Amino acid sequence: MNNKDLDIYVLIKQVPDTRSKAGVNPDGTIDRAKAGKMLNPFDAYALQAALNAKKMGGSNSKVTAVTMGPPPAIDILYQALEHGVDKTLMLSDRRLAASDTLATSYALCQTLEYAFKQNGRPGDLIFCGLQTTDGDTAQVGPEISERLDFTQITYCEDFSISDDEVHAKKIIEGGTQLVKAQLPTLITIANSYQKLKYKTLRGAQFVQDIKRSSKEKQAKYVEIIDLDACHAEELRCGLAGSPTIVSKTWKIGVVGGNCTMHQGKSVTELVTEVVQDLPVLEEFVKI
């Protein structure tokens, strides 16, 4: 039985909700202002992993959910509280606009350092989703790990914690690997991990209570800080702190544009047309 109290952090992000049609322009582009928002689906696995990790530590272990984003991103912090995290922290500052992955990792690293300091000791574990659905880079986690000099386990499918070590199963090229990593460590959770459990009734009521409470009480569970609070250098954040920029975007034109459409006939006829038009199909049919 491991009784070491663990300080666990989980990094989450609010992303545009692509499940709904809202904010999707007819040409397929996204109007981010109009689109609905949701917790990055990959982060749901990380959240569950963080909550599971808490049970592997001592009775004073705790989970802090951390995000960076505009004020409405507070919704995902409430969501995390409903699922059972102990505290949440948000870095929100206009000067963060247009951050690339390196600038994001710097700002989040400063935020984590701030939390470590508030807490009186550095974190033991940081969980991240594999990637976000709006950036798809999978870079921010390992970049934070480098900055904090943590060990890292990417594509983690399962793990257990004992003493100062994490035993994990992770995906590698062409297989899986069992590794043992010393704490502190940063873990990115693969989407083959357990699904996020439903929020508890207690969690939901707790969040309702917080929302109705005084500002002071709210701040105990939902802390919002800016760049100055976490001593982040402005020139290392946002557009100024990003070593990369998007210099140009363009629509990808229709590739083939010569699609022969088969429609408005019986299924048998439709299939017959395609099979006859494409003799190559039969070349590969098993004899």
Partner 1 sequence: MAGEVMVVAEQVGSKVAPVTLELLGEGKKLAQKLGVNLSCFVIGHNMQDAVQEVIKAGAQKVYLADNSELAEYKTLHYRRVIVDELSKWTTPPHTLLMGSTTTGRDLAPRVAAFFETGLTADTIELDIGPYEHTSGTDETKLGYFPECLYASRPSFGESLKARILGPWKDPQMATIRPGVFPKPEMMESAPEGIEVVNVACSFQGCDYRVEIKETIRELETKVDITAADVIVAGGYGLGSGEGIDLLKQLADCFENSVIGASRKIVDLSWIDYPHQVGQTGKTVRPKIYIACGISGALQHRVGMQKSDHIIAINKDPDAPIFSFADHGIVGDLYQVIPEMINQLKSNRNVENKELKNA
Query: Of 190, 210, 187, whose CA–CA distance to 82 is shortest?
Result: 210
Using rule CB under 8 A, residue 101 touches partner 1: yes
Q: Is 79 in the site for partner 1 (CB under 8 A)?
A: no
Out of 182, 200, 205, 213, point to the residue binding partner 1 (CB under 8 A): 182
Near partner 1 by CB under 8 A: residue from 134, 158, 199, 204: 134
Residues in 37-76 that interact with partner 1 by CB under 8 A: 41
Tell me how far, at minimum, the Cβ of 259 lies from partner 1, in Å: 5
Contacts of 285 (CB under 8 A, 6+ apart): none
* Bridge partners, residue 24, by sequence: 30
Identity of the residue numbered 33: A
DSSP at 273: H
Part of the chain binding partner 1 (CB under 8 A), chosen from 21-29, 46-54, 73-81, 110-118: 21-29
Q: Rule CB under 8 A: is residue 247 a binding residue for partner 1? A: yes
**Member of 131, 207, 225, 232 binding partner 1 (CB under 8 A):** 131
150-179 residues in contact with partner 1 (CB under 8 A) are 151-155, 167, 171-179
Confirm or reject binding of residue 104 to partner 1 (CB under 8 A): no
Phi, psi of 154 (to 5 degrees): -95, 160
> Rule CB under 8 A: which of 214-243 touch partner 1?
235, 238-240, 242-243
Q: The dihedral of CA 173, 18, 96, 111: what is its sign?
A: negative
- DSSP characters for 5-71? --EEEEE--EEE--SS-TTB-TTS-B-TTTS-EEE-HHHHHHHHHHHHHHHHS-TT-EEEEEEES-G
User: Which one, 10 or 140, has the nearer CB to partner 1?
Assistant: 140
Closer residue to partner 1 (CB): 100 or 223: 100
